[in-house]
């Protein structure tokens, strides 16, 4: 096991860091895809830019933690780059509400994922990771609220679109923990 500033890192902590870095990477790609289609003059482009900037901060923090702690990133990163961008571009092509539906669905799963991690970290001596996850979870919830306020639930086919994206997120989380 690798040494960290707080002692030996358990494999489940490695998994948390790896999956969180992969998720933030995928989220950054989703917003890149959305902005590539919608441009800077779409009604929600300001909100999307803001969320993209926050996701980049999250990604940079997990990239740093991966390097400092010697955690192996997921080998699926090239796939998440393409899949995230394609998801963002596709939902943006469907319209601003569908783009926001994508954000609402993704953030619903990320909220549950981060909450599960915070509960698991209650018995660990990982104050830096716990604090980071708690802060990022709050920002992800803000993204979800922004998306809902922008009409995410009014997107055509919202229940099906949301369910499909949420399922994809759960699959991505499961794979990125291990691979």
pLDDT at 43: 74
What per-residue string of b and e applies to 63-75 under the rule 16 or more CB within 10 Å gives b? eebbeebebebbe
Q: With a cut of 70, which residues of the chain have pLDDT below it?
A: 1-9, 11
Please say whether the beta carbons of 74 and 135 come within 8 A: no
User: What pTM, to 2 d.p., does this model score?
Assistant: 0.90
Please say whether the beta carbons of 133 and 112 come within 8 A: no
Q: What percent of the chain has pLDDT over 90?
A: 85
Nearest to 16 by CA among 103, 88, 74, 68: 74
């Amino acid at each position: 096991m690798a040494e960290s500033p707080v002692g030996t890192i358990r494999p489940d902590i490695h998994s948390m860091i790896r999956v969180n870095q992969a998720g933030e990477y995928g989220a950054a790609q989703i917003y890149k895809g959305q902005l590539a289609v919608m441009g800077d003059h779409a009604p929600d482009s300001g909100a999307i830019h803001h969320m993209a900037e926050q996701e980049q901060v999250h990604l940079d923090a997990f990239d740093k933690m991966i390097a400092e702690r010697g955690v192996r990133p997921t080998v699926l990163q090239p796939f998440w780059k393409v899949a995230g961008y394609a998801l963002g571009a596709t939902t943006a092509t469907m319209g601003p509400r569908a783009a926001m539906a994508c954000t609402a669905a993704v953030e619903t799963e990320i909220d549950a994922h981060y909450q599960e991690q915070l509960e698991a970290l209650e018995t660990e001596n990982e104050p830096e990771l716990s604090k980071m996850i708690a802060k990022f979870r709050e920002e992800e919830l803000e993204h979800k609220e922004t998306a809902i306020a922008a009409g995410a639930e009014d997107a055509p086919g919202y229940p099906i679109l949301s369910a499909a994206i949420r399922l994809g997120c759960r699959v991505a989380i499961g794979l990125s923990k291990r691979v």
